[in-house]
Structure 1
């Protein structure tokens, strides 16, 4: 960390006789007199350990015969609170407030770091030096003053933590792609420190949790075993130091738990208690920092369902370049809170909005040219399909990938509604036969106008995509696309067969084909060829790709089932909940079983997406599978509601991606 990387409050060296000192003293005394009442109010944001340190300062002032404008009643209350606080465990971080009553030898023996500090806190280390004359404490303070040009920071060193925060901030603001080389160098250095168990990471719980999360999602090999000490709530709060007992640390542990892979019981336990704790804090209205409260609310509700560009916009809107953090005192770090970051991200977002609007107009022309606007029944899915696509495939240069993905979503929706809601059995099988033959001749006859519109739109779009893939990758995928569409339509037709003969499969039988009926394979295979990299055609037949496709499709299918089983029960449509209740299983048990299956397939897929060892699929391609699942989490949340068919909660977020101007 360079000294100019922090803005510290400095006190100039002025002679004691100076009138300026006298003036400042009066200002300070006036502040104490005006605000002293707040010292005993627990509903105010206060520095860490304030109830111990401030009364100690008052006592020291009394020993110096200084007169402070504090009432005797307030002083008694402060001292009583202090006496109560110092009886609690793990207060060594604020030991400067304990004075000579502290067992400084034990504190130094237990908590002194290799750099000579106690908790990387200059204040605690200085107090230890006063009371114990420890040489290492002196060396730490001396080196810190030299590095910081005689400024005294709240915490030092803290460069690894600030670098992690910068990586996280740039990703949240949606501009990390412009700094790929620099951010990768930072993460490489963080990983080296992780492997060496660097004290800056492993003695700071917040830093460790953030490092684990960011390294894991970037494909570094990090083990959740390093978070084992924090998987029990009671042990966590009974053993950790006071500076890590706040909401910020628990929130970082919660975020770390959300990147768990299949079978990681440590992260499952951390997730269980952190999510419960944060929900309780919201219910009790215990989070005094309103900005932090909003962040907790959003993370708890939307962690898996936050589409990239939706999250970017929200981060931009709540970003405050003047925001400060509070430990023993307030401090601000420009590598975390920086006006250049916000200005750059705002400009980038506005440029993106302009391009998305142009692309949506092009999509509308395609929709009309295909005749899909003449379909009188079914969902009008054009805008929703394009906007969610823009929200996950965000980079401006990926226009072809965005357009092809959005077109696939529209066609799947139109064909699904036709097979499921208003098309006849004869019409459905006519479309399937046309796809099977795949040759549209002038003399081709159609059994209805809807069949002609749907097949013609599918035929022209698939052929157009196949041509672009050939130009981009050098091989033909038309036969693969036709096969996938035919397989999808065949699985659509199975639902119609069920309605006609009431042949209800078991859950295992249903799942063996149901994952193929959600269209995730097409939603990945079509745009993946336009992500800006050369792909081997053999990649699409490997076991890794097939497994990714199945797990992602299962997540999407099961989330859809959870939110539509009431409606589909009335329509006599197959569903993973319905096939269980048909065999006498209670609705509650059936829902729980499906939720467990969602978690199973999600964690299996996450493992494959995050792990790089032994993988032959580029990281950007694997991430597309997870982004497709994000769409499913967004449209089909656990708490119910089909946000694709009738968007209510997400309509504001979707409009914000393209239409609503930023207010910054």
Structure 2
């Protein structure tokens, strides 16, 4: 990392012919790139502009103190060959404040009698100065944050008086603070710079200091995205506890950095800490954001993406986050449309987050994160900088190995699922969807961890059975067969004299009977109480709701005339309740029977089931209308009720409301009796529904197309 700070302190500080910080000059002389430049990644095609700025700063520092003449010449040669980059804003990453700071450095070079290439002293500089003037007039904070480019023209005493932080810095910027020290001796500025150097004794300083909180947040976020956070739960919890304390104290390091604030809010909220979205009130307007608050930390696409992610953690009616979500999503879409995101990894991440934010299943996202992870990732602030604590080969190697181990386990469990499927004779059902593999893979994508094998398999088995029964009731089973199954479940016993009206009925009922009894036995071993009765009741409720949705089968069922009528029972037919109930007994935690009768648990069932039910309805209402089946859209449009477009908007509003209610309960820590692991299972079920039914194409469950690569990547494709 190039010590841009010390170039400025070196230019005018010290006593007579001595610089304040000689170690920084030593660092400069020891760290020139082979092409004569200074800066990160000399071969990176988008960092030429950044290296041009770093190189000129180093050349000025060396020239000022009359050292490193050969290095100066090498630097001048680089500047001569790459001066074109100074005016290139299309395919070059531009350091923050470049159009103010760089022209000043060019002018200072003239004072030192350095002969710069004409490409810098004519058209390029004139162009940069023009931008400088216009930016200063339009954005007062550009002038403030990049004021090292104003030199003697700046009222440094006034700036120090107004903007100096408690740590002695100006904006936590060593460069700006060093510039102030050159023009206005200040003990606090000097002490701050000493503290920066003491934090790293090798002679270089970071472009922003301190960044400890941001770096630690990035570690938490990175380990979660790479799927290895469970190995560091104690350490990560301590980090978040400490950062929450800083949040409550409104620590400047968090609140002066937009990206840091957004990431802190998101990570703290989803982990159940009480953080208010009111802290983002100043960012609700896009124009105000870019004109007044965004320059200090080089806020561009990556910062807006963090704000967008923070807005997705909104619960209930949070107007501030609603407004931020509206403009950030539109801004990011426009960046993709205009193809202005130079970083291709960032471009892919933005595209993926916008397409299906809630539908990013854990393991699908982990694989994508591994593939997009760059151990040499850098940020563009006043110069390109890299944090090896966050981006390093160790994290990548660990996550790759962990994913491969999980993939091997999933392959074994899928074979176990296939044996169960055959033993239950479900493979003999010739009609209906073939969904064994996708049912298991979707489950494995959200229930992660080698110790959760029983939870994954039991959840996937329920999904398979629900689908088989759903197809039978909806597509090829007769009215008599359907009610025969309901009767069998209601009696819940199998003996030699049991009579079945068809082979399909026998296969379906015995598969359900044997699976429920086996799961109930395992659940008793885990929890110490019987769940068979509860499971049977849930299945009876589910199958009865299937029958009611086929309203035409039973003339005794009251007609469904309103959306409220439909919603009162339709949430039960999506199967969320038995999926979660069955699996949650195998999460490795003790679960009290009392939670199943609690209001909190019942609300989680209803809200999450409505999310899943209505997402499915939006994808299938045309097909179900043709089949004469009930659907939340069709029940509104029947007999000219309202238009299809208005009906869809109404359903989307209901989905949004219920999704926020689920998240609110998942995030809640105080006063919650349902364990966090169980609440998260409800939310993971919602994520599966988002994954399947939120894509632009068709029903991804019945015919996976958009998620086909994710499916292959999780189970079979080598990483």
TM-score of the superposition, structure 2-length normalised?
A: 0.89
Mapped contact 2:96–2:296 kept (Cα < 8 A): yes
Contact 2:547–2:553 (CA under 8 A) maintained in structure 1: no
Q: 2:128 aligns with which of 74, 78, 88?
A: 78
2:617 counterpart of 1:570: no
Contact kept in structure 1, 2:595 and 2:673, CA below 8 Å: yes
Question: Cα deviations across residues 228-287 of structure 1 (Å, max 9, x unaligned)?
Answer: 221222222232041343112111111011011011111111111111111112112222
Aligned residue number for residue 184 of structure 1: 237
Once residues 110 and 570 of structure 1 are traced to their aligned partners in structure 2, the CA distance between those partners, rounded to angstroms, is 69
Deviation at 1:79, TM superposition (A): 2.6
Q: Which of 228, 241, 245 is 2:281 aligned to?
A: 228
Shift of 1:499: 5.8
Structure 1 partner of 2:246: 193
In the alignment, is residue 23 of structure 1 matched against residue 79 of structure 2? no
Any unmatched runs of 5+ in structure 2?
4-23, 32-61
Measured after TM superposition, the shift of residue 447 of structure 1 is 0.6
* 1:110-259 superposed matches below 5 A: 110-149=162-201, 150-244=203-297, 245-259=299-313
CA contact 1:515–1:550 (8 Å) conserved in 2:
yes
Q: Is residue 547 from structure 1 mapped to residue 588 from structure 2 by the alignment? A: no
In structure 2, relative to structure 1, the CA distance for the partners of 1:109 and 1:280 (3 Å cut) is: farther
Counterpart in 1 of 2:666? 609
Cα gap change, 1:648/1:638 in structure 2, threshold over 3 Å: closer, same or farther?
A: closer
User: C-alpha displacement at 1:496, in angstroms?
Assistant: 2.1
Task: Give 1:628 deviation, angstroms.
Answer: 0.2
Q: Does 1:532 align with 2:588?
A: yes
**Greater relative CO (CA pairs within 8 A, separation 6+):** 1
The answer for unaligned runs of 5 or more in structure 1 is none
Give the superposition deviation at 1:85.
2.7
Aligned mates of 1:16, 1:600 — CA distance in 2: 64
* Matches of 2:355 and 2:155, distance apart in 1: 45
SS in 1 for 2:706: coil
Q: How far apart in 2 are the matches of 1:227 and 1:552?
A: 28
* 3-state SS of paired residue (1:243): coil
Show the counterpart of 2:638. Answer: 582
**Whole-Å separation in 2 of the counterparts to 1:249 and 1:66:** 38
Count of residue correspondences: 656
Query: Which residue, 97, 117, 122 being the options, matches 1:49?
Result: 97
What is the TM-score when the length of structure 1 is the normalising length?
0.96
Which residue in the other structure is 2:27 paired with?
A: 10
* Contact map agreement 1:562 1:638 (CA 8 A) in 2: no
Q: In 2, are the aligned partners of 1:556 and 1:632 still within 8 Å (CA)?
A: yes
**Does the 8 A contact of 1:230 with 1:270 survive in 2?**
yes
2:549/2:570 contact within 8 Å kept:
no
CA–CA distance in structure 1, aligned partners of residues 311 and 27 of structure 2: 40
Residue of structure 2 equivalent to 1:334: 388
CA offsets, 1:485-541, max 9 Å, x none? 000000000122236659342100000000001000011000000000111011111
Tell me, in whole angstroms, the C-alpha distance in 1 between the residues paired with 2:474 and 2:410: 31
Determine which of 510, 530, 543 is the counterpart of 1:456: 510
What residue number does 1:642 align with? 699
- 8 Å contact kept, 1:563–1:638: no
- 1:128 Cα deviation from its structure 2 partner: 1.3
Q: 351-360 or 107-116, which moves further after superposition?
A: 107-116
Whether contact under 8 Å (2:138, 2:291) holds in the other structure is no
User: Is the Cα contact below 8 Å between 1:551 and 1:601 reproduced in 2?
Assistant: yes
CA RMSD across the alignment: 1.9
Poorly superposed stretches of 4+, deviation over 3 Å: 12-20, 498-504
